[in-house]
Chain A
Amino acid sequence: MAKKQAVSFKLNGKQVDVLVEPRELLIHTLREKLQHTGPHIGCETSHCGACTVDLNGMSVKSCTVLTVQCQDAEMLTIEGFEQGGALHALQEGFTQEHGLQCGYCTPGMITRAYRLLKENPKPSEEEIRYWMAGNLCRCTGYQNIVKAVQYAAKKLSSASA
């Protein structure tokens, strides 16, 4: 067995250190070693987007990233969205617009939408659909997910205006 490696990164603002085999996938480290079970395992083949986390300013599927690749990284998962008891605008949007039914895809959806709105604060509906296409939802038909992202975009841009 290859020697375990120490890996340090920032997770939702806190420094964490883990000892992992090189072959360990980030999603397994997050869920099993760091008890961050918000990012879900849907397909484990980089199709569904349920395991999406924000890594160094990129939305990535954490089932297709090795934990050893994350040395010195800055990471955000769904656990880092709520601040001081207040929901993030995206969490509020998904609630208000009924952007979920079973909720399995929601952490990935919200985490992906977060980066999308950072890059494009006022996306058109078409842009939302194109840039959210890496996240699958089998319940909603996507309509209310788009509305939820639009809700958050509006709220965030009025807050920063």
Chain B
Amino acid sequence: MIPRDFEYHAPRSLPEAIALLKQYGDGAKLLAGGHSLLPMMKMRFAEPAHLVDLGRLPELKGIREVGNALHIGAMTTENDLIWSALVQKKCPLLVEGARLIADPQVRYKGTVGGDISHGDPANDHPALMLALGASFVLKGSGGERVVPADGFFLGTYSTALKPGEILTEIRIPVPAAGTGWCYAKLKRKTGDFATAAAAVLLRMKGETVQEVSIALTNAGATALKARKAEDSLRGKALTDAAMAEAARLAMSICEPAADQRGDVEYKTAMAGEMTQRALRTARSRATH
């Protein structure tokens, strides 16, 4: 399995990478970890004429705490996230999610920015980012803009990235102390995409839900924010009935594509089940 012929570029600075994208336009694709793009190129589903490798830009790597947020370079790998004491302490949801992505070898190469930019609803970071209320720094020849994750994912393999723009950084507001979290993912085996998955952040006040965030993986053309499900829980006690109702509302927005992982009905039911499991686990981890 050999990709179609292409030219390879390894820019040494971000401006150089942006200039290459501008020069080659539609013919260029960015190479991050390569574990989505290279398989597509080997299958000849993708045939870019120019490949711009971001692997030699250290400024796109690394995790920093800035004020009350984590700033994560787009080329930070999944294993970097898993092994980061800072991420584990400030945003354990992201570690839990990354641990469920692909397999160890893929996690050495796969990057958070690549996972997001690819726009694949089966990828895990889009839903994690929606749940966390993250925003993305996009840089192009016209300058820089910061866009919220909510609204970034437009369709399957389609995002708000404009031609010539590069996702350079992910900014995640640190969840309030005591916030419970869970990424519940159903998959057939290591390395598989989710049959369905749910990311939950949950803040309790006594027995009452103060704030909740729910997002779904692989349940539609994009990752989905389950707003009605969230609304149904705010200010309520987190009873079994309330969680079942939230799951029903989450399922009502699901439009999964049938594949070998299951038909539409099964995958929708699993999205509901993952929502309930994530809520239960998040509840057990919430401390207020």
A residues lining the B interface (CB < 8 Å): 1-3, 5, 21-25, 28, 44-47, 49, 52, 58-61, 63-66, 68-69, 71, 112, 116, 130-134
Residues of A within 8 A of B10 (CB): 68-69, 71
Q: Determine the distance from Cα of A8 to Cα of B216 in the docked complex, in whole angstroms.
A: 44
Known: A134-B104, A134-B190. A64 touches B38 (CB 8 A): yes
CA distance A60 to B232 in the complex (A): 45
Partner of B105, one of A1, A25, A45, A134: A134
Contact of B103 among A1, A28, A71, A134 (CB under 8 A): A134
Q: Among the listed A3, A66, A112, which residue makes an inter-chain contact with B104, where contact means beta carbons less than 8 Å apart?
A: A112
A-B contact count (CB 8 A): 89
Min distance, Cβ B43 to any Cβ of chain A, angstroms? 9
Instruction: State A69–B10 Cα separation when bound (angstroms).
Output: 8
From B4, B109, B191, A58 is in contact (CB under 8 Å) with B109
Q: Assign chain B's interface to a size class.
A: 20 to 34
Distance in angstroms from A1 CB to nearest chain B CB is 6
Measured between beta carbons, the chain A residues less than 8 angstroms from B62 are none
Residues of B within 8 A of A65 (CB): 34, 38, 109
User: A5 and B8: CB pair below 8 A?
Assistant: yes
Question: Is there a chain A Cβ closer than 8 Å to B24's Cβ?
Answer: no
**Residue of B whose beta carbon sits closest to that of A20:** B8
CA distance A28 to B109 in the complex (A): 19
Whose C-beta in chain B lies nearest to the C-beta of A43? B1
B:74-126 near A, CB below 8 Å: 79, 102-106, 108-109
